[in-house]
Chain A
Amino acid sequence: MIKMNKDKLKELANDLLFDMADQEYDTLLKEFDELIALMDLLGEIPNVDRGEPMIFPFAVTNTYLREDEAGTPLTKEEFLSNTPDSFAGQVRLPKVVN
């Protein structure tokens, strides 16, 4: 694992498309030490890396195909009613190409 520092944390936050107050990065840096301690506990399990990862508690099988029925579960008006900004029946955002 890489050694963590504030700049790397800021990169991670930027990847997730948000920023934090400076003191929150300090808190997070301390939490990374806790995270490493937690990870050590996983490493103490005998043969932990030999097994397969568990994705879900148990297998779920859905082997049927539903009927292909046309419907309008959500109308355009309904969808746009939750949109912070819309224009001419579409979601409006700042221009991508000027």
Chain B
Amino acid sequence: MDYTTLTIKELHALYVEGKVTPLEVVKQAIEKAKKDKTNSLEAVTFEQALEMATLLSATAVEVDNPLWGIPYFIKDNISTKGVETVASSNILKGYIPHFDAEVVARLKTKKAISLGKTTLDELAMGGSGMSGHLGRTYNPFDPKKERMIGGSSAGSASVVASGFVPFALGSDTGDSVRKPASYAGLVGFKPTWGRISRYGLFPFAPSLDAVGYFTRSVADAAILLDVLAGRDDKDLTSSFEKVEDYTKYTTSVKGIKIALIKGISDNISNPTLKEHYEQTLVELAKRGAIIEYVEIEKSLLNALFSTYFVISCAESTSNNANLDGVKFGARKEGKTYIDVIKNTRTAGFSALIKRRFILGSYSLKQENQELLFRRAQKARRLIVEAVNKVLTTHDFIYSPAAPGVAPLFDKKSDNLNIAHLIEDNHLVIGNFAGLPSITIPVCLDNGLPIGVNLTGRAFSEKALFGFAAAIEDITGLKNLQVEDK
């Protein structure tokens, strides 16, 4: 039996029944990962994983700990003690953190077993899975390797969709977990801003960043939040809000109010997506949900990407100023210390990242700041007010997670363009407002998955999992993955 294709919950049940050991599971996961065809792996920690699995296999299973002995991968912009962490950027080559990110530390405490790190768009600044220093990360649902898996959490999406492990950590600044989840048939979850500690996550745009993750079922997503949620004094933006028992959600949708935003939900061009999206709504209505169209000023929707682009580029320019090759990273020598920094940054960053930094820096210049950066921040407030107004009268916003199946590589790049302004960018609403948001699969179009997205009020994760589980029950799309051929 291939145990790695199971969900966390299923695997835990087998551990409890004594039908398999962590060592057997981890060995299988490593064998599969060694044959990875999607270019998803950065540094791997197979030896440490085998040691840990051997240790656990000689001890009693922790019946009340569903993460005991569960293998997983970590996006490579999340710090791992003693394991090279480069955020898929050449400038960080050789950097080995001396501490674990809080999320990694928590998973270690629960005896989950990391197999290593996964690829991303360089420094998480991209949405294609094409811009990391190792090149393209491929979508395992497309054996021809013509389609992207999306990004920036490309490798983490791929290793879960490939059936190497039941979950992987990612990060989400615009839609970097929730969009790849759509292209990979996965559950992709981003928590409320502050719900999960970001200590040890390389900052991209901290006013938007969140640690998120991929699973193959909603139940598994809830299991993980039980462990990862909660205040962390090392991250001053982490919340004191009470942590709930997230696995105790209810799947009843009777009486819940679902908002469909005009301009997003009535603008679906993919016929398969449109059919399944609407069928799901019909079934939700039959189960007692109240579904209503709501309006958000069109000019606000049109400005989603502009607002995101300016804010994220500006924040990232500032946050990555410490990448200079002086204290850590791949230094290039020079005659003066300025030359050292300049040569290091010239050689270390890709052209795309440099262009983003320049645009970000430009918007922060004193003479431009009011018209660019501050104006984007003002637009953000108006967008957030409009979204929160919807959520005062409705429990959730329901939308397509992507316009269609994973795009072909040659049809999309991370070069700046303003096509598909709303369809491709509306998930950023969840980052602007700091709201919990989850993508789950809704259909397969010629074997390629497409997801829907659900966004709820701040700190409503438990209810959000319940709603997502109801849709999972309707679609029957759970534990999707690519069979190893």
Contacts and interface: CB of A to CB of B under 8 A. Distances in A.
Interface in A5-64: 9, 12-13, 15-21, 24, 27-28, 31-32, 34-35, 37-39, 41-58, 60, 62
A43 B194 CA distance: 31
Contacts of B351: 20-21, 24, 27
B331 A84 contact: yes
B181 interface: no
A79 B328 CA distance: 9
Contact of B340 (A39, A43, A48, A94): A94
A27 B381 CA distance: 31
A17 to B, nearest CB: 5
A74 B99 CA distance: 9
Majority SS at the chain A contact face:
loop
A42 B358 CA distance: 20
Interface residues of B, number: 76
A66 B233 contact: yes
A2 interface: yes
Interface string A60-94: 10100010000001100011011111000001011
B415 A31 contact: yes
A74 B98 contact: yes
- In the complex, which of the residues A31, A45, A49, A96 has the most CB atoms of chain B within 10 Å of its own CB atom? A45
B108 interface: no
- In the complex, which of the residues B207, B331, B375, B416 has the most CB atoms of chain A within 10 Å of its own CB atom? B416
A42 B382 contact: no
Contact of A17 (B193, B236, B338): B338
A50 B358 CA distance: 28
Contacts of B458: 57-58
- In the complex, which of the residues A41, A54, A79, A96 has the most CB atoms of chain B within 10 Å of its own CB atom? A54
A21 B375 CA distance: 31
B337 A82 contact: no
Given A41-B306, A62-B236, A93 B340 contact: yes
B384 interface: yes
A31 B414 CA distance: 11
B438 interface: no
Nearest to A85: B331
B400 interface: no
A48 B324 contact: no
Interface in B307-339: 307, 309-310, 317, 324-331, 334-339
Given A18-B345, A85-B331, A94-B340, 15 more contacts: A16-B357, A19-B342, A24-B354, A35-B416, A37-B418, A39-B310, A45-B297, A46-B299, A54-B432, A56-B207, A57-B434, A82-B327, A84-B328, A84-B331, A96-B337
12 contacts: A17-B341, A21-B351, A28-B359, A31-B355, A39-B371, A41-B306, A51-B378, A54-B377, A57-B435, A79-B327, A82-B98, A84-B330
